[in-house]
Amino acid sequence: MRQLVLDTETTGLNARTGDRIIEIGCVELINRRLTGNNLHFYVNPERDSDPGALAVHGLTTEFLRDKPKFAEVAAQLRDFIADAELIIHNAPFDIGFLDVEFGLLGLPRVTECCGGVIDTLVQAKQMFPGKRNSLDALCDRFGISNAHRTLHGALLDSELLAEVYLAMTRGQESLVIDMLGDVPAAGTSLNPRIALDDLDLVVIAASSQEASAHESVLDGLDKAVKGTSVWRAQPDVVENVEAAA
């Protein structure tokens, strides 16, 4: 599976009123592994950045003046993202700017070129409701160092977001690995390695003190998610074992 973590920097916040892309960064993942096959452009927007945007990215008009215009990199960008799944933090912002840039050149929208879009901001809000879910906040939450990030940069932010995305979805990775480990080699059977029917398994139930401590932990989880945690939705193992006895 080929995925691209993508980020842009722009002259301002609104592509519909003339703001333009000034930097594009793409970091490639193949089967959830960084490949080092990345794409990075600085782009001459043919206009100045808004003061607020300039304070964020620090890319001056003078620095960008000799860089290629978007029309000069559009084909290479489209070829690079073709059929790949894009991973973007606050995807509507970046996709909106790219669609406007492609539209000015008479080219189809991003979603007609790529293989789908994952918005990590939406994912983060679902995982951490009511909390800050900026890229910096997620780096702090997952223990990813961003000390070298004094200004926003499309490639640097893409590299950080790639680490954040892998950390956010690590459970999925473990599941995939487990599933791959269950696939038998060609010509082998699915016979169990251990005859479980011959084993006399002992079930040790939790003490009342342990059960009380467990309930306290679940109460804390319920409070954290402002609802019922997934662990309370699971069937009671002890009851199931007694029913089967």
Catalytic residue among 40, 148, 152, 214: 152
57 is in an annotated binding site: yes
Known catalytic residue: 152?
A: yes
Nearest to 22 by CA among 9, 4, 39: 9
Question: Would you say 199 and 66 are in contact if contact means Cβ atoms under 8 Å apart?
Answer: no
198 is in an annotated binding site: no
Question: Was 157 annotated as part of a binding site?
Answer: yes
CA gap 229, 219 in Å, rounded: 9
Q: Please say whether the beta carbons of 74 and 67 come within 8 A.
A: no
Q: Are 162 and 66 in contact (CB under 8 A)?
A: no
Separation of alpha carbons 155 and 5, rounded Å: 9
Residue 179's region, left for phi above 0, alpha for psi from -120 to 50, else beta, is alpha
Please say whether the beta carbons of 72 and 21 come within 8 A: no
Per DSSP, the three-state class of 88 is: strand
Q: Report helix, strand or coil for 110.
A: helix
Is 7 known to sit in a ligand binding site? yes
d(C-alpha 27, C-alpha 89), whole Å: 13
Strand (E) positions, the chain? Answer: 2-10, 21-30, 33-34, 39-42, 85-88, 117-119
- Angstrom distance (rounded) from CA 57 to CA 45: 14
Q: Which two tokens stand for residue 118?
A: 């994952």
Q: Which residues are annotated as a binding site for substrate?
A: 7, 9, 57, 157
As annotated, the active-site residues are 152
Q: Which residues are annotated as a binding site for a divalent metal cation?
A: 7, 9, 157
Q: Which residues are annotated as a binding site?
A: 7, 9, 57, 157
